[in-house]
Structure 1
Amino acid sequence: MRRLALLIIPGVILAVAPITRPDIPVRILEYVKSGPPAEASLIAVGDIMLSRTVAKKMHQYGPDYPFASTTAFIQSGDIAFGNLETPITPGDDVQPMEMTFRADPEAAQALKDAGFDVLSLANNHTPNFGEEGLRDTLSYLDEAGLSHAGAGMNSKQAHEPAFLTVQGITFAFLAYNDHDVVPVSYEAGEGRAGTAFMRIEDMTAAVQAAKAAADIVIVSMHSGIEYEPIPDESQVAFAHAAIDAGAEMVIGHHPHAVQTMEVYKGKYIFYSLGNFVFDQMFSRETREGLVLKVNFAKEGLSGIEYHPVLIEDYAQPRFLEGEAAQAVIERLGVDRGL
């Protein structure tokens, strides 16, 4: 059982004292807004890569192997979201050092069984196998009952939000890919399959339209410099524009390391959650990631839990505890703007 030590002052921002006994996992909970209890929870994770050595582990131990230690928690949320960094399409095995990723068709159901509901496809690997690979990916995800955003068979599809309604709250998910980290051909166009590129004017219009139909708009961006702990100017500019347009939260991926976060105009921006499932075992930073559990009322965000993970055996994230967990959380920045 996970426990927290909390000091909650009505009408005032939180104070938190994590329990540090070694037999109890450390979890940090922030109450950032007074008012009624949250009505729906969103769990968000970082990059999910189900190819190369991860695929080998899935063949060896079963398709659920990457999620064995986290499924119960992922399933505890009303909605679970992540960045799927792998097209799902039949084909040959991808070798450990290759940069063109592919996951077996059974991966879609494994993601669903793990508790995921909606995935970003706006990244530098979804189009690795061209139009056919993207079509397969969309088909397998649809068949498994998984919503997705950020890619499609044309520009209109790629820019459409994924809508999910839980506990009476409607969420809209929009996802975008930085044109600086992918080939130009990866952008969806009229009659061309691909991903939604990060263009502030287009994103602003999409957020405003989604906000008219949803209570909560979440924007995902695939951007930044790999392995860097600090966001770059393009990440900051795009995230700020998303909040200005009406997004409730921005969630970033791609750097493969947890980056600092920001509270901008009262809204949370997580520039990078790091890796969730990946075979990058070459550094502590690439093995670590951050899982968020965010509570929402219709009026907006009401609380956040931070759950650091560490990837073991090239494929399987496990929750960190004690000082190791605290060290990851501190990377978000001492001053979170509260």
Structure 2
Amino acid sequence: MPRPAAAQASVLVLAALLTSAGCSTAPASGKPSSPASANPVAAAEPDVTAGPTPDLPPGTITLAFGGDVHFTERTAPRINGTPADPALGPISRTVATADFAMVNLETAITTRGSEEPKKYHFRTPPTALTALQKSGVDAVSMANNHAVDYGPAGLADTLDAVHNAPIPVLGIGANEAEAYRPYVKEIRGVKLAVVAASQVQDLTNDKFRAGPKKPGIASALDQAKLVAAVKKAKAEADVVVVYLHWGTEGQSCPGPEQKSIAAKLAAAGATAVVGTHAHVMLGSGMLGTSYVNYGLGNLLWYGTSPYPRSNDSGIATLTITHGKVVKQAFTPAVVDNRGVPMPQQGAQAKAVTDRLDSLRKCTSLTQGPR
């Protein structure tokens, strides 16, 4: 993969997301209009005007999940998104339609610091969080192997950005209590809790793992702490989501370490366990009554990847009623030459969706409700 630039250029102040007919107002049907064509030249990208569906039954919420996001190299200009062309492009409509949407922000938030001794380094200014908010994202995970690419100074800046963020940033904190702390929000009378952690064995998880008095990321390698956080979340919420950084880059089947932690988190009360890191999609389905997505793939991606089908992408959306997953949906996309996930239709959409379905064979998951 090409190596990103050492620093980001200054960014412009982002325009307001919506006019008075904004994200809080859904179309009469409760659904967004059809996505634009996958041709970025021929298709104009629509405003993010779809809001959460207003006519769901009592006790029901929708959750949307996307994969890895960067604002560097070819995706750096996306930080200056407009209402007509938000950072995530036209798939922002799918993101904004859900009651709660989340992605993985795989970067440090800093313009300072020294590169850690690793191959790839990513950083972005704090306005990345505003850009994602204006694409319909409600929270991000930063429990990943690039959150501290620029050392202690970069981490200090990142934490300052997190503490002043326009949306919740999970899985990183000034200490382990903050890093593992569930984010809790009531939506339509349903209490949602979200926990984030990284299972990737790397320099970040070794050197910058949060401790009692140490800043850093929440680690899934410390399974006892993560399970305890999920149990705590379950004690105060109706729906519990665990967003993990896990798996092996380029491998489209989950490893035994993923299957093991997924089972433990499901037993601890997780309604859904989702994650990223492999830069390719992995299979998804049901583990008992818990939804598991082993790999969401790249979403807004800075460069080309050596892995086959690494441009396959999309948004996984769950409908949850009274704490149970009652519907799974997937909006297929392909990352274009700008790094933007473009929603697909027709044969192209079917090709991405069929391949995703085929990946369930190696997961030991069942298909579950559709």
Which TM-score band applies after superposition, normalised by the shorter structure? Answer: 0.7 to 0.9
SS of equivalent to 1:70: helix
Amino acid at match of 2:249: E
Kept after mapping to 2: 8 A contact 1:88/1:108: no
Matched, 1:87 2:108: yes
> Which has the higher mean CA deviation after the structures are superposed, 109-118 or 174-183?
174-183
User: What does 1:36-51 align with in structure 2 at a 5 Å threshold?
Assistant: 39-51=60-72
Matched, 1:151 2:172: yes
Aligned mates of 2:126, 2:245 — CA distance in 1 = 24
Aligned mates of 2:163, 2:129 — CA distance in 1 = 9
Counterpart position of 1:319? 343
Aligned mates of 2:147, 2:141 — CA distance in 1 = 10
Counterpart position of 1:109? 130
- Aligned-pair distance for 1:102? 0.5
Aligned to 2:353, which of 304, 307, 329? 329
Give the strand-richer structure, 1 or 2.
1
Between 1 and 2, higher relative CO (CA 8 Å, sep ≥ 6) is seen in: 1
Cα separation, partners in 2 of 1:38 and 1:59, compared to 1, 3 Å: closer
- Aligned-pair distance for 1:251? 0.2
Matched, 1:269 2:292: yes
Q: Deviations over 1:120-139 (max 9, x none)?
A: 11100011123332333343
Q: Deviations over 1:188-234 (max 9, x none)?
A: 11322111111222222111111011110001111111011101110
Q: Deviations over 1:111-169 (max 9, x none)?
A: 11111111111100011123332333343344342112111111111111111221111
Counterpart position of 2:231? 208
- Aligned-pair distance for 1:301? 1.6
User: What does 1:226-305 align with in structure 2 at a 5 Å threshold?
Assistant: 226-282=249-305, 285-305=309-329
Structure 1: which 5+ runs fail to align? 4-34
- Aligned-residue identity in percent: 28
Kept after mapping to 2: 8 A contact 1:309/1:319: yes
Counterpart position of 1:58? 78
Matched, 1:193 2:215: yes
Cα separation, partners in 2 of 1:337 and 1:59, compared to 1, 3 Å: closer
- Aligned-pair distance for 1:47? 0.7
SS of equivalent to 1:171: strand
Aligned mates of 2:162, 2:179 — CA distance in 1 = 15
Aligned mates of 2:336, 2:262 — CA distance in 1 = 31
Kept after mapping to 2: 8 A contact 1:262/1:270: yes
Kept after mapping to 2: 8 A contact 1:258/1:290: no
Amino acid at match of 1:331: R
**TM-score (norm: length of structure 1):** 0.82
Amino acid at match of 2:78: M
Aligned mates of 1:224, 1:218 — CA distance in 2 = 18
**TM-score (norm: length of structure 2):** 0.75
Aligned mates of 1:288, 1:87 — CA distance in 2 = 25
Question: What is the alpha-carbon root mean square deviation over aligned residues?
Answer: 2.6
Aligned mates of 2:79, 2:317 — CA distance in 1 = 30
- Aligned-pair distance for 1:320? 1.4
